Chain A
Amino acid sequence: MSNQSVGGVAPSGFRLMLLRSARALRTPMPYLAFIGIGLWLGIYFLFNEYWKLFPFYKIPGPVEVVTEWVSRDPIWGTSLFTEDYYRNIWVSCRRIGIAFALATGLGVPLGLFMGWSQKFKDYTFPVLETLRPIPILAWVPLAIVMFAGFETPIIYLATLASFFVTALNTMLGVESIDESYFRAAGCLGSKKHHVFFHVVVPGALPFIFTGLQISIGVAWFSLVAAEMISGDYGLGYMIMDSYMVNKYTTMVMAMLTLGFVGWTTSAMVRVAGNRMMQYRQKALGQGGV
């Protein structure tokens, strides 16, 4: 049977997902994405391996990188078939997981209170605004002085960067809520905590998730920077380490891996956001496919 709904019963769950995927394949979107990636690889190949243009010939070409990547016996020691590769990915992902969870757990409540209470904002906003513009690289020496070992300073830096973005976006999210929702909640007999959980939190959610998308990107950025400076394992470390010993193929491999992993994590945040704000999906869905 096809994915079409029968007798007006709307498909749901897995069938809805199938229906949507089938429809997505009928739009140009997935094909354009393939063409885009193909074009980019083609140009990379032409410049680098075919025409050998300056300065592209200095870096490893796509064929070289892919060959090494899928090799069971890699020349430079790292590929899809070595434990080392996955260990670096895993270590970075774990650090991001911890940092992102900490930043979200601290940043969202802080932002909610700042947006909700003018007094609280008056206390905290100047501090936040003073610390926020300090580039994350400027925090590196301090992080090393403050924490022992490799792990804690790196997580600290990634958390810090991500935290500022999340807190600020959450605050703006609360401030963006239309006054009439607060009034409506008031005249329906809400107490303060009702307003917080039924208006402030759901009302700020769209901004919170926009913030989380940015914040996970920022977390990766500062994580890799920290790993490059002082690290033990992780994708940033892998890039820096391969560079030091002239393993450029491994270096490019690590960069591309970072790209894919980063993309996956933002996609996960997006999916989580869409799940938590189904009303927006449904309102958009009114327009039909």
Chain B
Amino acid sequence: MTANPNSHSGNSRGAISIRNVSKVYDPGGVNVRAVDDCSLEIAGGEVCMIVGPSGCGKTTLLNAIAGFHSISEGQIDLDGEMLCGPSKPLADQGADRVVVFQNGALFPWKTLAENVAYGPVVQGVMNKNEAREKSIHMLDEAGLSGVADKYPGEVSSGMARRAEIVRALINDPKVLLLDEPYRAMDALTKSIMHESLLEVYDRTKVTIFFITHDLEEAIFLGDRVIVMTTRPAKTKKIVDVKISRPRDYRLLSSEEFRVLVEETKEAVHEEAVKAFEAGERELA
């Protein structure tokens, strides 16, 4: 499988190659295979959406790319360089792959501007003043100019999440890793988040690896939607979203969009049923 032809970025940065990756957990002597022989090529500048039933191993994959967890077999490369593989099961953590977390992980003890400035300062690429200036500028661009000096606890969850994406982008990462970042949000906030993320993507063309349960979200945002099987995770179906960019909310009511959602839904539903039955067997 080669780079997705639909990815219209021409970006050579941030290509992820996942080859035959497996992950076996061993809690209490019983092997649990979370990911099984999973292969996936993600082109530089692609928005790759990962959907699948709960607990299927999507996050395990993200954790392996980010360097939070090791892999048991296979290899993951970023732009041709090995992140983790047989000789080095745990990838180094680095600012070329920044994660945006499910429940948000802005440091609550730092203001939004301090949070954004944190990366460049600790990496030593900017001094404090430069980093602050750049942070304020980037928060402005994201429509957060009024709240740069507020603490995360003082702003809405939508603002906090946008600031978290700015905190990632200031490092000019090759890949943004998003783990169901909008899960706990109401539909209205979510749609604003989607447009803001698309706007960011159109500007930066950063590779996006995005885990979600929400099929409409997946198709609205993605170049490709990867449907994973239930545990152990493999790729079950790949849906190419050949819808041109820039996209906006009107797309949601188009025929083209509905067809893709239906097509994906069928595959996901099958896996969800399997996952549910497996869960019942485990409980029985």
Q: Which one of B108, B119, B123 contacts A279 once the chains associate, using CB atoms below 8 Å?
A: B108
Interface positions of B from 150 to 179, Cβ below 8 Å from A:
150-154, 167, 171
User: What A residues does B61 contact at CB under 8 A?
Assistant: none
User: What A residues does B93 contact at CB under 8 A?
Assistant: 183, 186-187
Contact between B107 and A198, CB atoms less than 8 A apart: yes
Contact between A184 and B99, CB atoms less than 8 A apart: yes
A15 part of interface (Cβ distance < 8 Å): no
Contact between A187 and B151, CB atoms less than 8 A apart: no
Contact between B98 and A187, CB atoms less than 8 A apart: yes
User: What A residues does B99 contact at CB under 8 A?
Assistant: 183-184, 187
Instruction: Determine how close the nearest CB of chain A comes to the CB of B165; give it in whole angstroms.
Output: 12
User: What A residues does B150 contact at CB under 8 A?
Assistant: 282
Bound CA–CA A198/B118 (angstroms)? 9
Contact between A191 and B122, CB atoms less than 8 A apart: yes
Known contacts: A183-B99, A279-B151, A282-B151. The answer to whether A189 contacts B107 by CB under 8 A is no
B side interface size, CB within 8 A: 28
Instruction: Determine how close the nearest CB of chain B comes to the CB of A201; give it in whole angstroms.
Output: 9
Report, as a range, how many residues of chain A touch the other chain. Answer: 20 to 34
Determine the main DSSP class of A at the interface with B.
helix
Q: Which one of A185, A191, A203 contacts B109 once the chains associate, using CB atoms below 8 Å?
A: A203
Q: Please indicate which of the listed interface residues A180, A187, A279 has the most CB atoms of chain B within 10 Å of its own CB.
A: A187
Ordered nearest first, which 9 A-B pairs have the shortest CB separation?
Answer: A283-B153, A186-B93, A189-B95, A202-B109, A188-B119, A279-B151, A180-B105, A189-B123, A184-B105
Residues of A within 8 A of B (CB): 178, 180-181, 183-191, 194, 198-199, 202-203, 205, 277-280, 282-283, 285-286
Residues of B within 8 A of A (CB): 66-68, 93-95, 97-99, 101, 103, 105-110, 118-119, 122-123, 150-154, 167, 171
21 CB < 8 A contacts A-B: A183-B68, A183-B101, A184-B107, A186-B67, A186-B68, A186-B93, A187-B94, A187-B99, A188-B167, A189-B94, A198-B107, A202-B107, A202-B110, A279-B109, A279-B110, A279-B151, A279-B153, A280-B108, A283-B151, A283-B154, A286-B153
